[in-house]
Amino acid sequence: MNSQLLSQLIKKEFLLEFRQKSTLAGILVYIVATVFISALSFKKIIHPTVWNALFWTIFMFISVNVSSKSFMQETKGKGLYNYLYYHPRQFILSKIMYNMILMAVLSLLTFFFYSWFVGSMVQDMGMFLLALIFSSSAFSGILSLMSAIASKANNNISLMTILSFPVLMPLLLVSVKLSKHAIDGLAWSVSCKYLLILIMLNFVVVALATLLFNYLWKE
């Protein structure tokens, strides 16, 4: 596999995103608005469990929103062009990596706004950030494949959420557990187990997505 082509594809994704600044700005507004609404309605969150649950709920909706459009712009003509030039593995990997980078940045931004408006309760910042980064990468892996599936089934956005929510659930529960440990400031030896599962899930998801995309790709 040619890594140069892969980096080219990722670069293309970024170029497309930055050329169309409205979508990126739209996501930012979406993040700020959701966090602001939750800050207004909750006033002050005292309980760490509530803080954690609310954060991950917001995070999940944002990630589904961001990734759902990763295959939406792929028109039929473009698909044919990509089919001729790239290997399906390169193509899905570029999508996943692009989504991983985007989601990592957006999750940090969400966390920033969330702790600004609602207040931060995290005691072990390092572990929390690790949980955030690894879960956002696994999220983008799953959601990229789901978006590819949904795009083959008439680009239905509601279908995307129906397909991805149940599949995301195991991952989300691990992330919630791990970040709860980080909030409570538990020792790393306790949460190490969950971090390992999260990393393992990353590998499983990316491997499965690259394997299975091969079959989605053919028209």
CB of 109 to another protein, least distance (A): 27
* Residue number, 24 or 216, with CB nearest to another protein: 216
Site for another protein, rule CB under 8 A: 142, 145, 149, 152-154, 156, 159, 162-163, 165-167, 169-171, 173-174, 177, 193-194, 197, 201, 204, 208-209, 212, 215-216, 218-219
CB of 219 to another protein, least distance (A): 8
**Distance between CA atoms of residues 66 and 26, nearest Å:** 10
**Distance between CA atoms of residues 202 and 217, nearest Å:** 22
* Residue number, 75 or 154, with CB nearest to another protein: 154
* Residue number, 130 or 142, with CB nearest to another protein: 142
Helix axes 48-68, 21-42, angle to 10 degrees: 160
**Residues whose CB is less than 8 angstroms from the CB of residue 218 and which lie 6 or more positions away in sequence, other chains included:** none
CB of 160 to another protein, least distance (A): 10
**Distance between CA atoms of residues 4 and 165, nearest Å:** 34
Scanning the structure block, which residue is given the tokens 């599936």?
149
Backbone angles phi, psi at 8, to 5 degrees: -60, -45
CB of 130 to another protein, least distance (A): 18
Q: What is the DSSP letter of 20?
A: S
* Residue number, 127 or 142, with CB nearest to another protein: 142
